[in-house]
Structure 1
Amino acid sequence: MLMTLPLDCLFLPTGTVLFSEGDPGDHAYLIQSGAIDILVEREGQEIVLARRGTGEIIGEMALLDHGTRSATARVSAPTEVIAITKRQLDQRISETDPVLRMCLGVVIERYRETLKMVRPDAVAPPPTTVRSLPGPAFDAAVAVLALEREIERGLLRAEFELFLQPIVALRDRRLAGFEALIRWNHPVRGLLAPAAFIPVAESSGLVVQITDRMLREAVSAVRVLLAARGAGEGCADEPLFVSVNVSGHDLVQPGFADGVMQILAEAALPPHHLKLEVTESMLMKDPARAGSILDTCRRHGMGIAVDDFGTGYSSLSHLSTLPITTLKIDRCFVQAMLGDPTSRKIVNTIRLLARELAIPIVAEGIEREAEAAALDAIGCEYGQGYLFGRPMPVTEAIVFLRAMPVPRIQALRAYA
């Protein structure tokens, strides 16, 4: 019985042919339970080569060497498998050691050569099933694979939503802009924060598609916010910005800067309304490459913010060479500074450094008036946190904006 395969977890009855010898390879399969026979047909006779069981992968060869199926896979007992796409497998292989990738290629080539010599009168080994207990590592791998597929489907179904969190000038609490934050409106689990899916999106490379979606929605949101502010009483024409987080995966994409400029051009939005946020640790992975791409973005007029500053390492030597327009102090220092002298000294040191470099600061995670007052007292220009506003949908951000005073032009010039 040959079946058309869905994309996720498959429950296969005995006799199901998962794929046949000579078929093109589109998926590999991770066996969660049951047993699958691997067989070939020679001169009208079936030869069973092996029986694969729980914790094993089948069908990977055609994906790894871009060839056809070298054997047939048929279910010999009720079986549950997880489908693995070529993209998922390629992503994992690309991150392995080059020597290991070479070894995999040699093993596949030798296996295919061996299959050519199989004869009907050959004595086939008895089918065996691996009886190993997969354990926590296996369960974790299955969970990651499943979440990757859910993210892919969520992107196709537009389940990811833009939320905006206000950034204000600490001196007078006037609105300066917003940070774009992502939420996943999961059909089963409800509204999910980034921590529930961004690590897997990063490791799988799917974060590139998420960033593209967020850039487009953030740019569109700025247009809506500018129109809303223009209609509000007492509103002026000073720039309003939105900052969008980008990852290391984004910055290695060919033409990333040109792609962002195209998004801005399509929306007819001047680049100074957009700021790109990059983490300190991500910049340190490849400062030269990141600096080159961010230089291009900066020359086009975009702002560049370093997020979570103070949590990375060896970054001071790059502050003078990277086109940074803003430092964002991590919330862990902000929320501890009132009770921890060391954290307060770190915040003050970062402020002094930023002042020498003429780079304004945004303090993240402000939840108490005392924190805001202390940060203002040491000269921190901008703040972000629950004290000023939680992340909110664009419709709520419009209401929030109309209720806020407009930002001072001198503050916005310093921030641009």
Structure 2
Amino acid sequence: MNDPNAYVTLSAGAAIFEEGEPGAFAYLIVAGRAALFLRRDGVEVSVAERAAGEIVGEMALLDAGPRSASARAIEDCILVSVSEEQIRHRLHNADPILRLCFGVIMACCRDAVALPRPNGTVAPNGTVAPTRAAGAHFTPSLKADFEASIDAMMTERALRLALNRNEFELYLQPIVHLGTEALAGFEALIRWRHPEKGLVHPMAFIPVAEASELIVEITQWVVSEVGRIMPEIMRAALQNPAATDGPLFLSINVSGHDLARASFPEMVGEMLRSTGIAPSTLKLEITETTVMRDPVGATEALSQCREAGMGVAIDDFGTGYSSLSYLSKLPITTLKVDREFVRAMLTTPSNRKIIQTILRLADEIGIPVVAEGIEEPAEADALAEMGCAYGQGYRFGRPVPLAETLALTKAWRLAPYDAALIVAA
């Protein structure tokens, strides 16, 4: 029975599905009981019973194989169908190690009710003894999960070593005041200097760090490193006061795992107190997706940070959930427009309108906007004309290590300029 309706009502004795059929649905039992059984040589072999609160048909749905057993209602039943589409994307987005464990469990479950081979037997309790060869269910998808799991575990191990060996570095990218192009601050971006692979981009290791929650320790390292380098950047700015029109700020990226820890606001606050760095010069950047995973927890943690004087920026605004409700609840001090909008704004009218809408919204709630991904002077000029306060991108400089950042700060001059010449200087 493959019924696309959400609720299914069956009388006692009615078939739910048959062994060998494709499994497009699983069924949650809301009321009643169901029996799972095999037919062998004209005899029904009982496999299990399921009652209200349990599920039937999940095996074929989860591993895309045929039904491993038949099912019928023992009593009048009310079932809720669960479709393949409802499950598939959730599995796809799961951690590969979790998917591998799940796949192995599913293979073992199928072996437990395997069709008997010539030497197969039915045990006294009515179950069929497994006779499949080892690895019979090592499907291409399971093999891919296995390989991805190996990569994830090796990366996780290497990340732990990297923390112990101090292999991480902070690269800093300039953020400027649009119009004058005075230096406003920097975004701190983590890099991993692997002893064999060289410089590793964050996208190659941050997802593993978040899945393993090593991201919490990495963020602690970032906060500590900011406490070390921020005074150096401030001293460099003092040597070139004409390049800025106020104190520089430094932005760091924060994950949902960080905000979930009750100790996070205090950890950052302690760094600020011990170093004497003004809280207003530190901004915490979070994505819309991070916020919407736990709006209540994120609001509480960020409110504590804001009360301590730190800034809060929503990164990649417009690409995530874009729920306007959190704009009135979160203590946001800055919006960052995603680079994808900026890159197409001169050629795609809809992108330009999106940016204009974001700028009007930010103006209404009284917070500035940073446009990311600016590469061309024309982009910077257009954004300045629209009232965008800050800009970030290769037009003003790529992310570089501390030494180059200090040289850049000391040599910075106002527009028009060539960022490459400043770095060279």
* TM-score class normalised by the smaller sequence: 0.5 to 0.7
Give per-residue Cα distances to partners, 1:359-383, cap 9 Å, x unaligned.
1000000011111111111110100
Aligned partner of 1:339 among 347, 355, 368: 347
What residue is the counterpart of 1:130 in the other structure? 134
SS at match of 2:329: coil
What residue is the counterpart of 2:155 in the other structure? 147
SS at match of 1:243: strand
What residue is the counterpart of 1:263 in the other structure? 271
What residue is the counterpart of 1:394 in the other structure? 402
Alignment partner of 1:250 is 2:254 = no
What residue is the counterpart of 1:368 in the other structure? 376
- Higher-Rg structure is 2
Give the whole-Å Cα distance in 2 for the aligned partners of 1:257 and 1:230: 29
What residue is the counterpart of 1:284 in the other structure? 292
Instruction: Give the partner amino acid of 1:281.
Output: T
Deviation of the 1:406 alpha carbon = 8.5
**8 Å contact 1:222–1:240 — kept in the other structure?**
no
What residue is the counterpart of 2:332 in the other structure? 324
**8 Å contact 1:230–1:236 — kept in the other structure?**
no
For 1:13-412, list aligned pairs within 5 A.
130-132=134-136, 133=138, 135-232=143-240, 234=242, 238-405=246-413
Structure 2 portions without partners, runs of 5+? 1-95, 106-128, 416-425
**8 Å contact 2:368–2:389 — kept in the other structure?**
yes
Deviation of the 1:251 alpha carbon = 0.2
Give the whole-Å Cα distance in 2 for the aligned partners of 1:261 and 1:160: 22
Against the structure 1 CA distance between its residues 327 and 314, is the aligned structure 2 distance closer, same or farther, given a 3 Å change threshold?
A: closer
**8 Å contact 2:178–2:391 — kept in the other structure?**
yes
Give per-residue Cα distances to partners, 1:17-51, cap 9 Å, x unaligned.
xxxxxxxxxxxxxxxxxxxxxxxxxxxxxxxxxxx
TM-score, normalised relative to structure 2: 0.64
Against the structure 1 CA distance between its residues 359 and 153, is the aligned structure 2 distance closer, same or farther, given a 3 Å change threshold?
A: same
SS at match of 2:173: strand
Give the whole-Å Cα distance in 1 for the aligned partners of 2:323 and 2:187: 23
Give the whole-Å Cα distance in 2 for the aligned partners of 1:195 and 1:235: 32
Give the whole-Å Cα distance in 2 for the aligned partners of 1:215 and 1:241: 14
Q: Which has the higher contact order (CA 8 A, sep 6+)?
A: 1
Deviation of the 1:130 alpha carbon = 2.7
Deviation of the 1:233 alpha carbon = 6.1
**8 Å contact 2:97–2:152 — kept in the other structure?**
no
Give the whole-Å Cα distance in 1 for the aligned partners of 2:189 and 2:316: 15
**8 Å contact 2:280–2:310 — kept in the other structure?**
yes
Cα RMSD, aligned residues only: 2.7
**8 Å contact 1:219–1:274 — kept in the other structure?**
no
Give the whole-Å Cα distance in 2 for the aligned partners of 1:373 and 1:285: 36
Give per-residue Cα distances to partners, 1:197-224, cap 9 Å, x unaligned.
1111111111111111111112321111
Aligned residues: 290
Deviation of the 1:194 alpha carbon = 0.8
**8 Å contact 2:374–2:394 — kept in the other structure?**
yes
Instruction: Give the partner amino acid of 1:340.
Output: T
What residue is the counterpart of 2:36 in the other structure? none
**8 Å contact 2:288–2:322 — kept in the other structure?**
no
SS at match of 1:238: strand
Against the structure 1 CA distance between its residues 356 and 189, is the aligned structure 2 distance closer, same or farther, given a 3 Å change threshold?
A: same
SS at match of 1:315: coil
Q: Bigger shift: 177-186 or 207-216?
A: 207-216
SS at match of 1:239: strand
Give the whole-Å Cα distance in 2 for the aligned partners of 1:375 and 1:235: 21
Deviation of the 1:129 alpha carbon = 8.1
Instruction: Give the partner amino acid of 2:304.
Output: T
Against the structure 1 CA distance between its residues 261 and 175, is the aligned structure 2 distance closer, same or farther, given a 3 Å change threshold?
A: same
SS at match of 2:326: helix
**8 Å contact 2:243–2:412 — kept in the other structure?**
no
Against the structure 1 CA distance between its residues 392 and 292, is the aligned structure 2 distance closer, same or farther, given a 3 Å change threshold?
A: same
**8 Å contact 2:283–2:310 — kept in the other structure?**
yes
What residue is the counterpart of 1:30 in the other structure? none
Structure 1 portions without partners, runs of 5+? 1-90, 101-124, 408-416
Give the whole-Å Cα distance in 2 for the aligned partners of 1:201 and 1:252: 15
Give the whole-Å Cα distance in 1 for the aligned partners of 2:255 and 2:414: 31
Instruction: Give the partner amino acid of 1:179.
Output: E
Give the whole-Å Cα distance in 2 for the aligned partners of 1:348 and 1:150: 44
Give the whole-Å Cα distance in 1 for the aligned partners of 2:269 and 2:411: 31
Give the whole-Å Cα distance in 1 for the aligned partners of 2:230 and 2:212: 29
* Amino-acid identity (%): 49
Give the whole-Å Cα distance in 1 for the aligned partners of 2:280 and 2:233: 15
Give the whole-Å Cα distance in 2 for the aligned partners of 1:276 and 1:222: 15
**8 Å contact 2:180–2:414 — kept in the other structure?**
no
**8 Å contact 1:239–1:272 — kept in the other structure?**
no
Against the structure 1 CA distance between its residues 384 and 234, is the aligned structure 2 distance closer, same or farther, given a 3 Å change threshold?
A: closer
Deviation of the 1:235 alpha carbon = 6.9
SS at match of 1:148: helix
**8 Å contact 1:168–1:175 — kept in the other structure?**
yes
